[in-house]
Amino acid sequence: MVLTLMLTMLLSGGAAFAAQLPNFPYHSIDVLPIDRAKFLAGQKIDFEVELKDLGTIKSVEVLINYNPAEKFFGKAPVVKLAAGVSSYRIDQVSFAKPGPVNVIVNVLTEQGAASREVNYTVVADKAQKLAKNVILFVGDGMSLQARQMARILSKGLTEGKYHDLLEMEKMSNLALVTTSGMDSLVTDSANSASAYATGSKSAVNAMGIYPNSTGDPLDDPKVENIIELAKRSRGMATGIVSTANITDATPAAMVAHTRRRSEQNFIAASMLDPEHRPDVILGGGSQHFLPKSVPGSKRSDDRNLVEEFKSQGYTFAGNKTELNQIQNSAKVLGLFQLDNMNVYIDREVTKNPAVLGSFTDQPTLMDMTKQAINVLSKNQNGFFLMVEGACIDKQLHTVDWERATYDTIEMDKAIGIAKEFAKKNNDTLIIVVADHAHSASITGTYHELDGKTGRQAVRTYAEAGFPTFEDKNKDGFPDNPAPAVTLAIQYANHPEYYEDYKFNPEPIAPAIKSGSKTIANPKKDANGDLNSSKLPDTETQEVHTADDVPLTADGPGAEYFRGIMDNTEVFFGMVRALGLDAVK
């Protein structure tokens, strides 16, 4: 079919497009950004209308607040005609004034007329007392129950009363945050982090974009993110810190724009782009920065991004010793593992060479957070820093709640460092939130003191009593992850796996592939109970849930966070606290 598109900006004659033909599906006209999107005034976006399977198109009219889009934005559209899907697109535009925005698309085809209407909200709110800095802590997968596990192990309780609360719990404001994306009830980390970074919902696996119909993961309409806004509008310093690959979903969403989170080589290179190049980059994942000739590299080219960052004035650290030696540097790149960094128990407690390999000198999240703040706080315009406790999620995926909980405690201690910095000038907003939840839940305690084993030794109600974790050295971490009485943790959504309720000295996958199906890994808890899968037999891990997650906040602008909030509101709380003027 040959499509002919006469693009007409009709200022009148709307009556000709009044009716939606019943044979045109609702999504024959997709408008990106989507309906009910919200933007900061001046925030840059790419605007696109896709026309799908409408037959021969005679004319298209795109009106924004009843003005032709070309006139409203002051830029001509790029129109692409194709059989099946046609596109009308204007890149790098914004809404300068706060208030409602109405978009109407009218299409005239040989079969009749079709139309679509969406509405946006544009805001420019500023907190009464502004923050100079924002530190966003993201506990990946850190549900309410994950916080509670950390409180039990780190603070303990006697006769039902906790001895203390976590640092993340001793904050002025509390809210519940929804987690769903634009395409699915249950989100992934890219999609949810993108909501925090841009204020816009996206799709699973996507970050910093609205997904269009093409197969190209790099051509989707972009939305300006918090790092780009902070750098462009105020010249702030910016940083990302994570215990995962620094190109993994959450840190990458603060920087990059792609439909596919697995494009980690692209994301690593994109971090060099001046518009969103963070001043501090600390985490794992050197495999995406080193040329393919280096053993362990995952790059398919000869680019050495570490050297390219050095040429941009960055000081490089490859281990904890080098990180702690850095002084008077305004830009730091630290990569401490080829892949994800090892978790706290393996790095700091068991220190098993079989697990750590040659990476025996990795910094803690506290080390990285402290150095990041030291570097970024030298910028007189303030800073934005995102710190992720990434492996909380990765360990809950493998039903290893002990490792997840130690990493939650590790992030809490990093939050304590940020709070100490914030106390000095009372000009820093600190936000602590998860990106989604997991299904792990505390059902009681577990012990074999009376000879019972397996599920017969799970203690509930009055028989549960209390676990016997101890912290004699007062470092905030239990001295032993395997006390005589431990927690009984159950999961609602898991593959088939064996469970003996005991700590595993080495991390081990709960399930493995056997042919086309997933079976319990016989190397994990082989003498334990066999838990039948609650998931399709293609899943090898426990999966995310759609649960709301708690958010706590403290400092200037924290009053914004209360009640039930959409996940996109985290972005608007941050830009409101900073009082960013994106129209500049």
What does the pLDDT look like over 25-67, one tens digit per residue? Answer: 567 999 999 999 999 999 999 999 999 988 888 889 999 999 9
Question: Per-residue DSSP letters for 423-466?
Answer: HHHS-EEEEEEESSB---EEEEEE--TTS--GGGGEE-HHHH--
For the chain, what is the largest distance between any 2 Cα atoms, rounded to a whole number of angstroms?
Answer: 84
In which band, very low, low, confident or very high, does the pLDDT at 584 lie, cut at 50, 70 and 90?
A: confident
SS3 497: strand
pLDDT category at 12 given cuts 50, 70, 90 is very low
Binned at pLDDT 50, 70 and 90, residue 346 comes out as very high
Handedness of CA 433, 436, 440, 442 (dihedral sign): positive
Of 185, 183, 180, 184, nearest in space to 195 by CA: 180
Is residue 579 within 8 A of residue 130, CB to CB? The reply is yes
pLDDT at 9 over 50: no
pLDDT band at 24 (very low <50, low <70, confident <90, very high): low
Report the alpha-carbon distance of residue 382 to residue 399 in Å, rounded.
Answer: 40
Cα distance between residue 418 and residue 510, in whole Å:
35
pLDDT of 2 reads 33
Mean pLDDT of 94-117: 94
251: closest CA among 224, 219, 226, 217? 226
Name residues whose C-beta falls within 8 Å of residue 489's C-beta, 6 or more positions apart in sequence: 149, 401, 440, 441, 442, 443, 501
pLDDT single digits (tens) 518-552: 999 999 998 999 999 999 999 999 999 999 999 99
Cα dihedral 239, 243, 248, 249 in deg (nearest 10) = -80
Cβ contact 217:565 at 8 Å: no
How much of the chain, in percent, has pLDDT values that exceed 90? 92
Packing angle between helix 401-425 and helix 365-376, nearest 10 degrees? 30
Is the pLDDT score of 5 beyond 80?
Answer: no
- pLDDT value of residue 16: 40
Note the pLDDT tens digit of each residue in 452-499.
999 999 999 999 999 999 999 999 999 999 999 999 999 999 999 999
The residue count for the chain: 584
What's the average model confidence in pLDDT over 314-321? 98
Joined tokens for residue 524: 């994990």
At residue 408, the pLDDT reads 98
User: Closest Cα partner for 511 from 528, 493, 524?
Assistant: 524
List, for residues 230-286, the tens digit of each pLDDT value.
Answer: 999 999 999 999 999 999 999 999 999 999 999 999 999 999 999 999 999 999 999
In whole angstroms, give the CA distance from residue 103 to residue 65.
Answer: 6
DSSP 99-146: EEEEEEEEEEETTEEEEEEEEEEEE----SS--SEEEEEEETT--HHH
Alpha-carbon gap, residue 129 to 92, rounded angstroms: 31
DSSP state of 225: -
Q: pLDDT value at position 111?
A: 84
The mean pLDDT value of the chain amounts to 94
pTM of the entire predicted model: 0.95
- What's the rounded Cα separation, in Å, for the pair 137 and 559? 17
Q: How far is CA 474 from CA 154, 364, 366, in A?
A: 9, 17, 16
| Angle at CA of residue 357, ends 511 and 512, nearest 5° | 10
Residues 6+ apart with CB under 8 A from 385: 133, 134, 135, 136, 238, 239, 240, 241, 280, 372, 373, 376
